[in-house]
Structure 1
């Protein structure tokens, strides 16, 4: 699945955290940064790594509309604000949508679907190169965005609305508020595989396996009955 690399800019920490949580619920969105000052996001945008910005308007240093006007080739933008009077100015700037805080999730979903439809209209070769270049993803942990390279991940354990991400050379896993299905959507299918209702594994980190279990380093991981045959065909084709 092609994903939109997106960032959120808002000077209110709680609003920024809520936006990051909503973004992470959408399989086709990949959050690569959150910023309380729009100027801190300038370099990332300039490098062409951002497809979509969730942008607050009323900020002390520079308003969202002022910042957007400074961008020579801006990515797609969804305004997020508590003030309705900026709506007309926003649409003059060719934004995707205008969301009024507090933002209901169904309204947020409608806006990002519009952005994704426009994103899919890009030339195919351009979106493919973006997907191939991505070697990492971001997760929200303890009020900040953590960058994780795919090659660092050993396996992931699902715990209802949370997942534990086990990283090589780290004693403690990272805990983030996502379900296993959402985190699976962030990972390249050729590198990771679901082997159990509660486990995703990095295929190149497996050291050995049996019919009902596999090992990554010294960790034993169960293989669910409904996954056993397809896993063996993918990992050890005969």
Structure 2
């Protein structure tokens, strides 16, 4: 069964929203959760709900689509929809999946959303009990990483940075997909951009976590699950 990508549409022009809704209805791996003409309301929604993909206009009142994309979780894929071609380079620099120029045709839309499926396949990581391989900068270059050596993982839009004891490895993946591939007993998401190795946490102080000399933020959204997990692992005693 094909897993669904939960989508929202953000555009200050209702006809453009209706067109995107019509296109999405034709694709079996997409589903529309909500639509917004106000980008600030869209921001509130993504902070409280699971969203996989945003179809995002660029020129809107209050904040632009470019600005909004900088505020949302790095795990959310962005497909820009706009009548202006001059923003294309900036959007790709920010890791957008695609950039659709209005008026958008269905065949061009479909090519864009197929990239979501391709990136999902690329994200897949096979993890054994002790190690896994990740693809790095070369076409056929893979690096073996032992789970015990991971300090933390940082999301960098369409990439993740894996911090080891003595080096850092960067590979193409969403943070969400990477986290789902890791053993849950050894790792915990502590912030929208960070996953921590539980056994390597040395200190916790309010909204900060220390792993060796590294300081990681502890996000409010993740605090409850984090403290429940570390109590399970007996890292803290009441």
TM-score (norm 2): 0.50
Q: 1 or 2 for the larger relative contact order (CA 8 Å, sep ≥6)?
A: 1
